[in-house]
A and B are shown apart, each in its own frame.
Chain A
Amino acid sequence: MVELVQAWLQRPNFIVFVILFLWGVYIMAAHPNLVKKLIGLYIVQTSAIFFLVAFSAKDGATVPIILADSGAVDATLYANPLPHVLTVTAIVVQVATLGVSLALVSGIYRKFGSLDEEEILERVE
């Protein structure tokens, strides 16, 4: 048990990921306000991106641009570009989702005059 806790404490970035993820899911599930649910979703998505960035971080590495005349390449000197590309794509997807969701929320507000999920569900029934 003690070793397990020690092993966890040596990975603070993954603990942050877990906290962010659970926090976001909790907000999504617990808050009746639709915009707050969206904020929860945003935190969940951010935690996934944080995870990607956390495991691809590298001490003392530089940008992966290789000059034509640089000869043999030592891969350990460069950061791995792929997780960062994934991160950027995931952020774009997140922005698109956010746009659609805000459009839906504003539509709901215009139609039902409320952002409270319970009130809205009562009016839908």
Chain B
Amino acid sequence: MSSNLPILLFLVPFVTGIAMPMLTAKRRSWCGPLAMAAQSLMVVLGIVNLRTVLSEGSIEYALGGWAAPLGIAWIDDPLAAVMVLTVSIIALLTLIYSGVVASSSLDKSMPYYTLILLLVSGLVGIVFAADLFNVFVFLEVVAISAYALVGAAGGSALVYAFRYLLLGSLGATLYLLGVAHLYAVTGTLNMADLAVRLPEIITSTAVAGGLIYIFLGLSIKMALIPLHGWLPDAYASAPGAVTPLLAGTVTKVSLVAWVRIEYSLIAPGIEVGHVPVLVLLEELGVIAALVGGALALIQTDLRRMFAYGGISHVGLILIGVSLGNPTGFAGGLFYLINDAFMQAALFMIAGAMVHYYGARSLNDLRSMQQRSPWLTGTLVIVAIAMVGLPPTGGFFGKWNIVLGALEAQHYLAAFAVVASTLLTLAYFVRILTNWFHQPQTADSEPLVVSRSLSFCLGFVSIAMIALGLLSDSIFEFLLQTGGGV
């Protein structure tokens, strides 16, 4: 049983998603409970899987029983176990949350639940896959569901979903080209096998070209500046019932795919044409962290501001994992998990603001008459986590990235983390001053939010603090992924 956990984790959302139209053909009201049940089962399996990996170490799963270089391998290591649990928890929260804010076009509709489940199965596939082509297929499963979910809001969202589709498909094609290059040179698609064969020929143009194509393709998917153009508009116009899952997981999981490739194929200190590859990636992260933070600061739309915040965090994580030492690597991965929860929390708040108050921009926050204590409390906790103050996980992630940068003597990277923290503080000050702006008539009762919304908000707040409190053991655990850096 335990050796089949990876495939079970994939099959539960996949089969439920595919079978949804048939199972609920007669009774449309079953869609919600069915999706919720599948997702709860997945969370349970995710916890069991995490415990198994904790006690027995990584599991290698050979699909169909064909061993690695010939068959398709999945790897269930600490990073994958933690990511899968994170993804399934955020998906379950999004489903609960969708009951609160679902728009009329999405409300209780079968396609919504089917697409969410397919998206989740694709995310699980990317996290587990140890095979380059498998990653491509799952990237597209995720992407196609995401295009449809973004477009589901109708109106201007259709235009932004179409733009997302054009750029996303271009990214996928670039990734496929990269995979084709690496396959043409080495004759294998398995990452472990590639890691054995590549170091001898890493300086050849075909390998360098292939890796550049793969990186370009994935950086469109993970919205790394300057290839982030699709993200802010898509997330600002997508339906509220979808954005927590999209913002929390899709870009992060694409980043996980890149981390796997980078970690297994690019050893620290490798130079291609006198360019140290990891330092180059780190500088790209520096640019993304700073520019993303600065762009977030000048936004007036709440959701666009949060979207740019997420873009700058992608840069931070890329800095962490490209430092080439275990401290920075674990810090980056830990921050990635935190960021998934922070983005989900931010977009839950933003979606609830649109739903209850119709507030989209910062100025709308000022005229808000009664504030819900749940929303305010969660916003303050997310602000603390995003800025990175001690009790929350955000602090420990950033702290380790800075420590890693100092250890590698990359002072620019350390400066970029601190500077982006200041930028984050600056835009949260903007949000909070508007939020706490006292309206003229402050006599009404605070808004009572529905119980499922307060559950979701409470859960993500606790998760952000719990990640901080458990940070030491999670670091140790994640380091088993990056043990050999």
Instruction: Point out residues on A near B: beta carbons under 8 Å.
Output: 25, 28, 34, 37-38, 41, 44-45, 48, 51-52, 55, 82-83, 86, 89-90, 93, 96-97, 100-101, 103-105, 107-108, 111-112, 120-121, 124
Q: 4 shortest A-B CB distances, which residue pairs?
A: A124-B156, A93-B140, A104-B162, A55-B184
| Cβ–Cβ contact A100 & B155, under 8 A | no
Taking CB atoms, residues of chain B closer than 8 Å to A89 are 133, 137
Taking CB atoms, residues of chain A closer than 8 Å to B148 are 100, 103
CA distance A120 to B176 in the complex (A): 31
| Cβ–Cβ contact A101 & B173, under 8 A | no
| Cβ–Cβ contact B158 & A111, under 8 A | yes
Nearest A residue to B185, CB-CB: A55
Taking CB atoms, residues of chain A closer than 8 Å to B483 are none
Known A97-B165, A101-B165; judge A107-B184 contact (CB<8 A).
no
Contact size range, B? 20 to 34
CA distance A90 to B176 in the complex (A): 8
Known A41-B169, A44-B170, A45-B173; judge A96-B155 contact (CB<8 A).
no
Q: Tell me how many residue pairs across A and B have CB atoms closer than 8 Å.
A: 79
| Cβ–Cβ contact B165 & A100, under 8 A | yes
- Any A CB within 8 A of the CB of B154: yes
Known A45-B173, A93-B140, A100-B147; judge A37-B166 contact (CB<8 A).
yes
Nearest A residue to B213, CB-CB: A48
A43 to chain B, nearest CB (A): 10
A93-B140, A108-B162 given; name 16 further pairs at CB < 8 Å.
A28-B166, A37-B166, A38-B166, A41-B166, A44-B173, A55-B180, A83-B183, A86-B180, A89-B133, A100-B144, A100-B165, A101-B166, A101-B169, A105-B162, A111-B154, A111-B158
CA distance A45 to B140 in the complex (A): 13
Taking CB atoms, residues of chain A closer than 8 Å to B162 are 34, 101, 104-105, 108
| Cβ–Cβ contact A108 & B158, under 8 A | yes
Taking CB atoms, residues of chain B closer than 8 Å to A105 are 162
Taking CB atoms, residues of chain B closer than 8 Å to A25 are 170
Nearest A residue to B164, CB-CB: A104
- Any A CB within 8 A of the CB of B172: yes
CA distance A96 to B144 in the complex (A): 8
Taking CB atoms, residues of chain B closer than 8 Å to A111 are 154-155, 158
Taking CB atoms, residues of chain A closer than 8 Å to B161 are 104
Q: List 21 A–B pairs whose Cβ atoms lie within 8 Å, in order of A's numbering.
A: A28-B170, A38-B166, A41-B166, A41-B170, A48-B176, A55-B180, A55-B184, A82-B183, A86-B133, A86-B183, A89-B133, A90-B176, A96-B144, A97-B140, A97-B144, A97-B169, A101-B166, A101-B169, A103-B151, A104-B158, A107-B158
